């Protein structure tokens, strides 16, 4: 079954998205600190995948002080590990996960013109990829599927 999750954050309001992220992280046994909240707020404000440096700059501006990029990287890695954010590998960038309770192998449709990424879940395709890997004697952990092209909004 294919479902679309468009990462424009129109699926949840800012407060609801922050609460869902906090709930997911705390539910995973992690703490929701002021810095983690600031990083998530900055990440979720982007309308396209954001690099760690973009997020670092946004947090630094919001806090009126320079924030270390390595701290932001660690937090983003924690977010990805706990499904609070996803990583668009080909762009070396991150998206706030609008559905932190939703566990699927992500398929990203990445627009080369505007930079937006649309998250599509296709459990049948993911299962076929995992089955193909296992049939080759490989133990799949996290399939990364990204399709680069142009979105419907870009000519």
pTM (two decimals) = 0.83
**Quick one: 111 and 35 in the same domain?**
no
The reply to whether 38 falls in a domain is: yes
Long-range contacts of 101-107 (CB under 8 A, 24+ apart): 101/20, 101/24, 102/5, 105/129, 105/130, 105/142, 105/143, 105/145, 106/144, 106/145, 107/145, 107/146, 107/147
Q: Are residues 59 and 123 in the same domain?
A: no
- What are the pLDDT digits (tens) for 34-71? 999 999 999 999 989 999 999 999 999 999 999 999 99
With bands split at pLDDT 50, 70 and 90, how would you rate the model's confidence at 120? confident
Task: For residue range 68-111, list pLDDT tens digits in order.
Answer: 999 999 999 999 999 999 999 999 999 998 888 777 788 899 99
- Verify that 24 and 56 share a domain, yes or no: yes
Question: Structural domain of residue 126, as residue ranges?
Answer: 107-149
Please, what's the largest Cα pairwise distance for the chain? Answer: 53
Q: Enumerate residues 6+ apart whose C-beta is below 8 A from 61.
A: none
Assign residue 36 the CATH number of its domain.
1.10.10.10
């Amino acid at each position: 079954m294919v479902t679309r999750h468009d990462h424009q954050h129109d699926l949840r309001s800012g407060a609801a998205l922050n609460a869902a992220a906090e709930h997911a992280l705390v539910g995973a046994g992690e703490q929701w600190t002021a810095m983690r909240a600031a990083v998530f707020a900055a990440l979720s404000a982007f309308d396209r995948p954001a690099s760690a440096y973009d997020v670092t700059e946004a947090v630094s501006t919001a806090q009126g002080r320079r924030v270390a990029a390595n701290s932001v990287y660690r937090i983003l890695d924690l977010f990805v590990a706990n499904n609070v954010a996803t990583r668009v590998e080909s762009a070396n960038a991150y998206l706030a996960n609008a559905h932190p309770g939703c566990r699927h192998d992500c398929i990203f449709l990445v627009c080369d013109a505007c930079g937006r990424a649309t998250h599509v879940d296709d459990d049948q395709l993911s299962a076929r990829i995992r089955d193909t890997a296992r049939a080759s004697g490989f133990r799949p952990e996290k399939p990364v599927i990204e399709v680069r092209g142009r979105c419907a909004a870009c000519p």
